[in-house]
Amino acid sequence: MNPYQPIENNEFVGRETELARINEIEHRHQAAIMVVYGRRRIGKTELIEHAFAKRNLLKFEGIEGQSKQEQIDLVLHQLAKYTEDAKIAKLHFTHWREVFELIAEYLSDGKWTLYFEELQWLATYEDNFIADLKYVWDNFYRKNKNLLLILCGSSPSFMINHVLKSKALYNRSTYEIPLDEFNLQETEKFLNRSHHEVVDALLTVGGIPEYLRYLKQDSSIFLSLCRNAFRKGSPFFGEYERIFVSSLANNPHYREIIEYLSKVKFATRAEMAKHLKIQSGGYLSLLLRDLELCHFIKKYTPYNLNEKSILARYCIYDNFLMFYFKFINPIGSEILNGDFNQSPTKAINTEAYRKWLGYSFERFCRKNHTLIAKKLGFEDVRYRCGVYFSRPLEKKMPGYQIDLLYAREDKVMTICEIKYVQAKIGTEVIEELEKKLSLFPNPKKMTIQKVLISTYGPADSLISRAYFDRFLILEDFF
């Protein structure tokens, strides 16, 4: 056998939590199934190949859009290369069980890692792959205590609903490794740039390692962003189409939901059902759940209301998708014409981009609410947190939004005003927040703690007013 040899990645950083978990599983000295999943470009392959580079690794990768028979033939072709036995490639199997049993003949002894990549394509989004695998696992694979089976996929909804929740694999030494974006510290280590550039990158494309790699190519994050987004054939320009191919089955309603939310910014369940012309029932719930599992959209509700409230809204949650719809998609025809090939920075209005980053920073702060609570000194206090928004009832009572608030059990309401701007904040922010607070309901008469979270902090004029109780700046997040 000639096992698969991963290419060493000298840029590998982070993932300490996942690597520790993998090490723990590997040293239990029993056959195990590891299910790894996460959206496209999140770094699943890099993690697995880095973690198991020194083990005997057999990797079988699914191909998008191929039939079950074509996937089986491809696996046999790959196995023929590993075994240096050309006859294997000429075998004609029609069931996955036959393939798995053949592989088992080579893995009955020794320290092996059997790795199925892009499982949703290998299985053609069907359940028979897992059903056949269950039979061979029970009768062959699990007898080798040094065998680790890895099932990896870019479709979180498929991996959760059809693999982890499958009755076939229930209670069979299955371990779950969901792979999320790089956090701020991992992004900083990966990019090795100034804190401001690191945050700009994170707010624009998210902590997706492959996207961040594109942003390292030039003297500034902004220049790399423009060159990889606005030139004909640039990777970010074509990424939108590839996202849906990798993460979701071929269902046009997924795309319709994303594109609808890109236009209206947020929408209720009823509004989306009306737009899609479908019933607001189980089918819509399935679509929304799949998109949420992929972290493409997110449901959010005013902190004080039940999640089933009619005020619950959905919005696009993925940073890259938001950037794509705001700045790439509107000028798609010009990009295809090559209008910005020579000067890609001219494709984007920098003032509009900085304003958009402000909204993205608000989402970043809500996502990192535990870190903010720690910095403000109440991480040990139980709290509910989130955004607060109201619907406009009349001209005298316009709708408004509070970026982030914490309703704390110590009878304090911490209200955060968030500003991601290029200068220190002046006193104009006081009038803005006061208007919101005058309309904000506080029936329990809780103490209000006012916090300003901004890039560079307050100007001297704002400090002298002693209006805010606390200030947090960008550096505090590092």
Tell me the β-bridge partners of 180.
none
Average pLDDT over residues 313-321: 94
173 has pLDDT over 80: no
Nearest to 319 by CA among 218, 233, 204: 204
Q: Give the pLDDT score at 302.
A: 72
Long-range CB pairs of 273-281 (<8 Å, 24+ gap) are 278/253
Q: What percent of the chain has pLDDT over 90?
A: 79
d(CA 4, CA 78): 10
d(CA 86, CA 358): 58
Nearest to 292 by CA among 73, 8, 39: 39
pLDDT digits (tens, 9 = 90+) for 110-150: 999 999 999 999 999 999 999 999 999 999 999 999 999 99
Q: Give the pLDDT score at 250.
A: 73
391 has pLDDT over 80: no
Q: When comparing pLDDT for 185 and 301, which is higher?
A: 185
Q: Give the pLDDT score at 444.
A: 87
Q: Give the pLDDT score at 197.
A: 97
Average pLDDT over residues 435-460: 93
Long-range CB pairs of 253-261 (<8 Å, 24+ gap) are 253/278, 253/287, 254/287, 254/290, 254/291, 257/287, 257/288, 257/291, 257/297, 258/291, 258/296, 258/297, 258/316, 258/321, 259/325, 261/297, 261/314, 261/315, 261/316
Nearest to 215 by CA among 199, 227, 233, 203: 227
* Range of weakest confidence among 69-83, 201-215, 308-322: 308-322
- Paired tokens of 207: 């902590």
Tell me the β-bridge partners of 414.
406, 449
Q: pLDDT-based confidence at 296, cuts 50/70/90?
A: very high
pLDDT digits (tens, 9 = 90+) for 253-278: 999 999 999 999 889 999 999 999 98
Q: Give the pLDDT score at 374.
A: 97
Q: pLDDT-based confidence at 206, cuts 50/70/90?
A: very high
Q: pLDDT-based confidence at 398, cuts 50/70/90?
A: low
pTM listed for this prediction: 0.89
Q: pLDDT-based confidence at 399, cuts 50/70/90?
A: low
Q: When comparing pLDDT for 391 and 405, which is higher?
A: 405
- ∠407-410-414 over CA atoms, to 5°? 40
Q: Give the pLDDT score at 388.
A: 85
Q: When comparing pLDDT for 287 and 389, which is higher?
A: 287
When the pLDDT of each residue in the chain is averaged and rounded to a whole number, the result is: 92
Q: Give the pLDDT score at 360.
A: 95
Q: Give the pLDDT score at 322.
A: 96
Contacts of residue 389, Cβ cutoff 8 Å, sequence gap at least 6: 302, 311, 399, 400, 401, 402
- Paired tokens of 57: 């690794």
CA quadruple 20, 21, 23, 27: dihedral sign: positive
Q: When comparing pLDDT for 1 and 298, which is higher?
A: 298
Q: Give the pLDDT score at 392.
A: 58
In degrees and rounded to multiples of 5, residue 160 shows phi and psi of: -80, -50
Contacts of residue 307, Cβ cutoff 8 Å, sequence gap at least 6: 299, 301
- Paired tokens of 195: 């804190």
Q: Give the pLDDT score at 108.
A: 92
Residue position matching structure tokens 């009755």: 167
Tell me the β-bridge partners of 148.
32, 113
d(CA 140, CA 25): 20
In degrees and rounded to multiples of 5, residue 175 shows phi and psi of: -120, 140
